[in-house]
Amino acid sequence: MLLVPCPNCGPMNAADLSYNGESHRRPDPKTCTPEEWRTYLYLRENPSGWLLENWYCSSGCRRHFKIERHTLTGELRAPVLPGRKPGATQGDMK
Amino acid sequence: MSHRLPAPLGDVIDRSSVISFTWNGKKLQGFEGDTIASALLANGEHILGRSMKYHRPRGVLTADFWDPNTTVQVDDEPNVRASHRKLADGMAVSAQNVWPSLKFDVKAANGLVGRFLTAGFYYKTFMKPAKLWPAYEHVLAKFAPGGSVDLDTPHGRYDKRHAHPDVVVAGGGPSGMAAALAAAEAGSSVMLVEHEHQLGGHLLWGSNDDRAAANELAAACAAAGVEILTNSTVAGRYEDNWISISQRSHPGVIERLIKARGKTLVGAAGTIERPYVFQGNDLPGVMTSGAAQRLIRMYGVKPGTRAVVFTANESGDSAVEALQSAGISIARVVDARAGEGITSASGSKSRVKRVTLSDGTTVECDLLVTAVGWTTPTSLLNMAGDRPVYDADAARFFPAGPPDNVLATGGMIGDGSRDELIAHGRATGELAAGRAAVVRHRLQAATARAAAVDGPEPDYPADERTPLDRAQHPELYRSTTHGIVDYSEDVSSKDLFSAAGEGFDSVELIKRFTTATMGPSQGKLETVNTVAVLAEARNETIAEVGTTVWRPPYAPISLGALAGRINEPTRVSVLQPWHEANGATPILAGQWVRPEHYGDPAAEVRNTRTNVGIIDVTPLGKLDLQGPDVPKLLNLLYTNKWMALPIGGVRYGLMCAEDGVVLDDGVTARLGEEHYLMTTTSSGAAKIWNWIEMWLQTEHPDWQVHVTPVTTGLTSINIAGPNSRELLGRLTTDIDLDPTAFPYMNVRRGTIAGVQNCIAWRIGFTGELSYEIHVPSGHAVHVWEQLLDQGADLGVKAFGLEAQRIMRLEKGHFIVGQDTDGLSKAPVTGLNPLLKLDKDDWAGMPEVAWTMESGDHPVIVACQPDNGSVVPEEAAQILRAGTTEIVGRITSSRMSPTLNRSICLAQVTKEFAAPGTSLEVLLVSGERITATVQEHHAHFDPEGARLRG
């Protein structure tokens, strides 16, 4: 099981967090087209490589945070707190 | 115990402790320390079971955990590994796969017609015609292998444990013990896991010096503080060294699953001796050199009287010595290194009798020992991403190079003397400890709020170990005849040849088609022979064929261990003891245990409608919201408007997910300038808390709102009925209950029954005049009892969940998740005035707008069966009259004690939503009834005069 670095709690078992999927921008609900909105709802890039993801520290501090994960190697890097500037990297924990 | 050898042979048995057991009903004896198999052999019982497909008699092959031939039933437990499980007093052991008896098995006829049971036989023969499959299945089920399951077996005790060792060592042979010891001496916390019952590995059946060295190392490990887990298996290795360990030796627990986060993993699984493929290789009396040595030296059991030994290595030579020490005559040593070989063995049904050598001569014997080489159990390294590479000179696979946090030592990577293996183990342990220290430091540093990290990060040690040599070994897999490759699955080399002929050219495909390597040994004995036979059949090299990917588990784990303790939490309100003492029938609603009713829900409804009733609604989700931006938050999450809610006001709100589907509903009150109390559905409490935090943290981190769940901090009581005002008035002095001072949909704070800081609001889920009070839970029992005491003359009685459900249905209030589902977008509820499309933003707004624009959605309607005595089942389908076209379904239905007739809520397509429409409802019985759509959702008091009074 991956160790996922929560910005507050430090490395946590992935099972102690909630995985909220690929990070994506929410379109402006007043002006978006159905295609844009449904892309936001349902379509995912699922790249082979680096992917920006949303995680939620559901069994810990309840922080929502973003992290980049390499979908092939499982490497994780540089979590960014939503609403804050990207912080220092958490270091390689492998 | 006629086949027991005298001491000092038999290191692990205690002859002073005799154990009685039965074998197929026969009373036998063994010693403490015996396995079931060693005890049976000591009693001269050498057929331990019948094979899975051909029902051929089978005896001990490897005499260790992996033995594929000795699966037995013990008491009510099927599929016990007899060559591993320790004998215990009173065990009733019986053979599996036998009918009517072990020695005469009717199904052994399979063996005669074996050519019909080749690989893929079942797939090909029983596929067509499909309609006959139930008949085939009925017959085939009787041929299915395995023991018998007693459905009345009590649930055994299983457990789980989380561990955080620095170093996990998988394998307790000389290298593994040395690695564990060195790592512990370097300051690491170490778990040493050995799947057999004692540390030592191959030293246990070696020379006197070997056994002394094993004891010395084991004692040193214990003294150095290594946590030693015997009879335990490292079953899997996952990302970041998440390591699962199946521990079968924890006292009082059948099996315990340890989830260990190792900082480094040392693979020291040694080697597994390969059986040889030739005609007759599964006859009882044919065994590996390791098996013969284990039986003689560890268990003091004499496996035969006259032996042929086919040897290609030191283990075979050592077996010869062991056999001689046991007084077994050596009929012939066939040395592969000298170009000699064996081609077949034959015998009676129950025992090998003669061996035919490559030069055509035959030798009489009752024991054939083979020592043809080794399989490297690279499984754990595979799970870490390593792909093993075949070395033809050493005739085995080796790891190619696992990741930095996984190290291998011992027989997995090479050969050497005992001292060389120990030296390599020590070096590996030191390296593992050094790397674990770095990982530990990094983990600590990554934990922002951890105590200060000790000093700077240590240097990451490079791998400077002196590699072990690889001993030359002849490539010996199959003789010139065909024999069994997979003993557990009864797959022969002939099956593999024909499968290869059919085009199954990849080892991964042939494995799945023939099921070779898929039995309980998980390929430990069979994989490399399978690969070798396939290579031969395809005229390729073993390296070209490659090996299968080994996946977890390394050895099977019981489902009980995976499940662990049954640990399902339940929640109760502080009033639950009162409910139980007063005859409540409990119902489980989500995690909550609640009173369904106190005897007669219909009477509870009538009393509430006539007098006054009180219900414990504590599970209602309650969130305390504080801060200047709460109105913005409410405006974003609810579909309606919240910017102008006055202090003291209460409003109903509906929430949608971003796809416009109804997510939750509830009322929220404004208690103060920047202070609100939100209620959610009981099942939605946790979800909505998370939902709010997600929005606040991700989309609007600038908003100032604090969210605090207070669901159990406040006990919630709904007081409903015409007398509720009078009742509450008797308990409060500082809340003015006059309807003009405290109208419907308002909230007041004050003292109730002497308890300060209570919250009371007027809402009407039941349709009655009602006050919902939220009192600090520490005083809730007092308030509840005061309500009952003070209201005795008003007819107050407690009512349960069922009465509330009936009353809300009479009133036509839908329940999210009952009357709506995962496809019900907000307009389905009919609450269109609450869907404010002129707001800037709210969750799900675009989808709701488009749904309203298209008008293409079902709606919730109230309907009444024309025959008021019939209550259609919830989820009963509504059909277009006279057809099977589904146009809706009943979502809620009850007999109304107030109206004395059945009432329903339903979801129907718009075509059927107009008041007065006749609906055709299909009952579960198949009968169709008619029901009529009502003008209002409320079957009772649609004007709301009662609740507004």
Q: Which region among A44-48, B278-282, B444-448, B456-460 has the lowest average model confidence (pLDDT)?
A: B444-448
What is the model's pLDDT at position A25?
A: 87
CB atoms within 10 A of CB A77: 14
What is the model's pLDDT at position B80?
A: 93
Average pLDDT in the B813-842 region? 95
What is the model's pLDDT at position A81?
A: 47
Place of tokens 């109390």: B677
Considering only CB atoms, B850 lies closest to which of A34, A40, A58, namely A34
Give A92 or B253, the one with higher predicted confidence: B253
Which structure tokens are listed for B691? 């939902």
pLDDT tens digit sequence for B667-718: 999 999 999 999 999 999 999 999 999 999 989 999 999 999 999 999 999 9
Q: Which amino acid is at B69?
A: N
Give B98 or B690, the one with higher predicted confidence: B690
The list of chain A residues with pLDDT below 50 reads: 81, 83-94
Rounded to whole angstroms, how far apart are CA atoms B74 and B48? 13
**How far is CA A87 from its chain centroid?**
14
Searching chain A, which residue's CA lies closest to the CA of residue B385?
A73
Omega before B129 within 30 of 0, i.e. cis: yes
> DSSP labels for B298-342?
IT-B---SEEEEEESSHHHHHHHHHHHHTT-EEEEEEEGGGT--E
CB atoms within 10 A of CB B327: 12
pLDDT tens digit sequence for B760-787: 999 988 999 999 999 999 999 999 999 9
Q: Which region among B38-52, B157-171, B426-440 has the lowest average model confidence (pLDDT)?
A: B38-52
Omega before B251 within 30 of 0, i.e. cis: no
Which structure tokens are listed for B890? 């009943």
| Residue B795 Cα distances to B157, B771, B790, angstroms | 50, 16, 10
Mean pLDDT of chain B: 92
Average pLDDT in the B566-595 region? 93
What is the model's pLDDT at position B145?
A: 64
Considering only CB atoms, B242 lies closest to which of A1, A26, A56, namely A1
Q: Where are the alpha helices (DSSP H) in B671-794?
A: 685-694, 724-731, 780-790
- Chain B, 825 to 864: residues with Cβ < 8 Å from chain A are 840-842, 845-847, 850
Q: Is A64 on the interface with B (CB under 8 A)?
A: yes
Q: How close is the nearest chain B Cα to the Cα of A10, in Å?
A: 4
Q: In a 3-state reduction of DSSP, which class is residue B174?
A: helix
Which structure tokens are listed for B267? 């693979």
Q: Which residue of A37, A40, A75 to mutate against B (max B Cβ within 10 Å)?
A: A37
Considering only CB atoms, B240 lies closest to which of A3, A20, A40, namely A3
A:B CB pairs within 8 Å: 80
Share of chain B above pLDDT 70, in %: 94
Q: In a 3-state reduction of DSSP, which class is residue B892?
A: strand
Domains in chain B: ranges and CATH: 14-111 (3.10.20.440), 114-141 (no CATH), 158-271+378-446 (3.50.50.60), 477-567 (1.10.10), 577-618+714-799 (3.30.1360.120), 623-711 (3.30.70.1400), 841-948 (2.40.30.110)
| Residue A85 Cα distances to A55, A65, A80, angstroms | 17, 12, 7
What is the model's pLDDT at position B114?
A: 47
pLDDT at B138 over 70: no
Q: How close is the nearest chain B Cα to the Cα of A48, in Å?
A: 17
Among the listed residues B12, B528, B534, the one whose alpha carbon sits nearest the alpha carbon of residue B273:
B528
Q: Check: CB of residue B797 under 8 Å from CB of residue B583.
A: no
What is the model's pLDDT at position B143?
A: 59
Written out in words, the top-level CATH class of the domain with range A3-80 is alpha beta
pLDDT at B107 over 60: no
Residues β-bridged to residue B759 = B749, B774
Residue-wise burial string across B463-498, b where 16 or more C-beta atoms lie within 10 A, e elsewhere: eebeebebeebebbbbbebbbbbbbbbbbbbbbbbb
Q: Is B242 on the interface with A (CB under 8 A)?
A: yes
Q: Is A23 on the interface with B (CB under 8 A)?
A: no
Rounded to whole angstroms, how far apart are CA atoms B837 and B275? 75
Among the listed residues B174, B68, B65, B165, the one whose alpha carbon sits nearest the alpha carbon of residue B412:
B174
What is the model's pLDDT at position B944?
A: 87
Q: Is B699 on the interface with A (CB under 8 A)?
A: yes
Place of tokens 């970041």: B240
pLDDT at B653 over 80: yes
Considering only CB atoms, A11 lies closest to which of B446, B658, B690, namely B446
What are the start-end ranges of the E strands in B550-700?
A: 585-589, 592-597, 612-616, 621-626, 650-656, 662-672, 675-680
Residue-wise burial string across A10-34, b where 16 or more C-beta atoms lie within 10 A, e elsewhere: bbbbbeebbebeebeeebebeeeee
Q: How close is the nearest chain A Cα to the Cα of B657, in Å?
A: 10
ipTM for the complex shown? 0.89
pLDDT at B16 over 60: yes
Which structure tokens are listed for B914? 């107009």
Residues β-bridged to residue A52 = A68
Rounded to whole angstroms, how far apart are CA atoms B733 and B723? 17
Q: Delimit the domains of chain A by residue range.
A: 3-80
Q: Is B449 on the interface with A (CB under 8 A)?
A: yes
**Helices B780-790 and B724-731, axial angle in degrees (round to 10):** 120
Searching chain A, which residue's CA lies closest to the CA of residue B689?
A62
Q: Which region among B503-512, B726-735, B776-785, B869-878 has the lowest average model confidence (pLDDT)?
A: B503-512
Omega before B284 within 30 of 0, i.e. cis: no
Which structure tokens are listed for B5? 């050898």
Average pLDDT in the B842-864 region? 96
CB within 8 Å: B841 and A30: yes
**B205 CB burial (10 A radius; 0-12, 13-18, 19+):** buried
| Residues of chain B with C-beta less than 8 angstroms from the C-beta of A2 | 239-240
Among the listed residues B145, B556, B481, B143, the one whose alpha carbon sits nearest the alpha carbon of residue B283:
B481
pLDDT tens digit sequence for B317-347: 999 999 999 999 999 999 999 999 999 999 9
Residue-wise burial string across B9-27, b where 16 or more C-beta atoms lie within 10 A, e elsewhere: bbbbbeeeeebebebbeee
Q: Is A47 on the interface with B (CB under 8 A)?
A: no
pLDDT at B754 over 90: yes
What is the model's pLDDT at position B153?
A: 80
Give B60 or A11, the one with higher predicted confidence: B60
| Residues of chain A with C-beta less than 8 angstroms from the C-beta of B659 | 41
**B658 CB burial (10 A radius; 0-12, 13-18, 19+):** middle
What is the model's pLDDT at position B105?
A: 59
pLDDT tens digit sequence for B351-369: 999 999 999 999 999 999 9
How is chain A split among helix, strand and coil, in percent rounded to 5?
15, 35, 55
Q: Check: CB of residue B305 under 8 Å from CB of residue B352.
A: no
Average pLDDT in the B745-768 region? 94
Q: Is B701 on the interface with A (CB under 8 A)?
A: yes
Residues β-bridged to residue B594 = B587
What is the model's pLDDT at position A87?
A: 40
CA dihedral B581, B583, B586, B592 (to 10 degrees): -40
